[in-house]
Every structure is written in C-alpha cells, then in structure tokens.
Structure 1
C-alpha cells in the first residue's frame, strides 16, 4: 500500500473508479455521476409507480402510499439532476 493511497483517508485506502486515474468526479466534469443519478431517479420512479399500482389493485393502501412516496422521491431526484445540468452548461 503506497503512501498516496492512505494520505487522504487516514489509514484506509481510497477506492477509485476504474479509469478515473485518481481524479475526483468534479475534475472529470462529473458526467458519469450525473448520468448514474439520472438513471437511479428514473428507476425509483418506475419502481414506485409499479408498487403503487399493484398495491391499489390488491387493496393495500399502506403499501400504495409507500410506492407513491418512492415515486415522488424519484421525481425530486430527477428534478435535482436537471437543475444541476442547467447550471453546468
């Protein structure tokens, strides 16, 4: 283990993404993170909508509310990512 790996985080080595060459996402432009976050937001929306609709079909209102909350969280995450993109360009 080199001294460079432990310099930033104390004892534990810093894990880096393959191909990042040691640069944080902010120095690379952060495109990869934004795309991943957008995908996560869309996935939350789809899962939330599916859970909500299935729960309504089987009359499980508590589960339907949880699905609606998950869907709303996905929408908010997507809105945040679109706002971040608008400031980048």
Structure 2
C-alpha cells in the first residue's frame, strides 16, 4: 500500500528500511516520507513502530495477507501481500 503519495513510498519500502536498521528520522531523510504535505506521518510512524517491535517483519503485511508470518511467508521475503 502506498503510504506517502507525495513521494510514492509504500509500507514495504518503510519496512525494508526499518529492517535495515533505520529509525523514522533516517527513513524520513532517505525516502522523503512526511516531508511535503505531512498527511502520511502517523501511518508511517505506525509502520515503523510495528516493524521495530518484536518482529522484524511488519505485522501489517501478515494481517493483510492472512499468512501468519510462517517460514514460507511471501511477506517476510518482500514478496506480494494480498
């Protein structure tokens, strides 16, 4: 899903950067999230928080895909989510 329309940043882009060790400020500088109109900031921060929690894979992907995040999960590999 596109989170930042102004810079065309998806939830997967954000999750990938969090898994790479970036926090919200780093992601904001790197991708431009929440630097133009600001409407995406709360959603982007929520995705960062979900990814930074206990699991390195965003819970939002698993909820949407209904996959449960098991070993064969396409979400975990950055594959398509439903």
Q: Is the helix fraction higher in 1 or 2?
A: 1
TM over 0.5, shorter chain:
no
TM-score (norm 2): 0.30
